Each structure stands twice: as C-alpha cells, then as structure tokens.
Amino acid sequence: MKKLVGALLFSTLPLFAQANSCPDVLKFMKRKLNSQETVNLCSEYQGKTLLIVNTASYCGFTPQFEGLEAMYDELKDDDFVVLGFPSHDFNQEADDEGKTAELCELTYGVEFPMFEPTHVKGDDADPMYRILAKATGEAPSWNFNKYLVDKNGKIVKHYKSSVKPSDKELRGDVEKALAL
C-alpha cells in the first residue's frame, strides 16, 4: 500500500510543480475567438517565447496582422507564438466576433492563436494585461501594442503600436529571447 501511495504522490508531483512554476502572466483560461473552446495558457504556452498583441479590425495598424502572421509562421517551429487579443477599448473592433475572425482568417490569413475580445486598459483591464502593464510600466495606449515574454515567463519588453513586426529591434529582441 505504501508503494502505491508513494507512486501516486510522485506521479502527481510534476503536475503540482508545473502549476506552481507557471508564470503569473500565463495563469489564465482564455476562450478562443468565435468559439466556445477555452485554452489554459499555462499548459499550452509555458516554455515558449510569446508576443502578446492587442488587435483591432478597423485600425490603421490592422495591416500588421500580415507581418505578425509572417513572423509566427517563420518562428513557430522554434517555440515562438503570437497571441492576439482583439479589443474594442479604442472603438475600432467589430462587435461581432464572427466578423473579427473572418477578417483575421480571410483577409490576413491569420493562423496564430486569437482569443476572445479583451479589455486592455483602465479599470476594466483584463488581469493578464494588468500584469503586462505593471511589469513594463506601459499599458496599451492604442491597438497593436506588443509585449514580448521569454520562455521562462519573464516579461521582456513593451512595444508601441507603431513598431511593426519587421522592426529590427523587435526582431533582435525576439531572437535573443529564443536563444535563452
């Protein structure tokens, strides 16, 4: 009996350790865009380099979807993931998630994970975005703000909307984070 209890204890220990070691920024369940499916960010993305972006469908920066998708496609095999969070905080997102999903998929060919509409600023900011803003000292001031998170869960840097996915500094920082 002691062997059975010991085996059970040691077999569940890695799960317990993983839950405790999960970075705060990933300790959330998020619903996929235009879906009922939820994703445990920790179990899905822990150990990966992330670029977290607040997006909008009707913004001057919306064409950045193309560059974000190209970056994701190029680096996904190196455990790099772009996570998109549509936000209507700046009045440039569709009220209908289906329209947002359609724009992402059909217009820009987005295959990186997109999630439920999310508040990213102010008193209503999603807890994940509060963590990102606190760590960097920068809350999103517009659509397409980007936060780089390394594979250890450290929030590395914030990038303003005007920083394109092809920006040399952003690309260099992503490469450094991937090399850790």
Q: Catalytic amino acids?
A: 59
Residue 33 · residue 104 · CB < 8 Å: yes
Q: Which of 14, 42, 46, 11 is nearest to 29 (CA)?
A: 42
Q: DSSP H helical segments within the chain, as ranges?
A: 2-21, 41-45, 64-75, 97-102, 127-136, 168-179
Q: Burial level of 171, CB count in 10 A (0-12/13-18/19+)?
A: middle
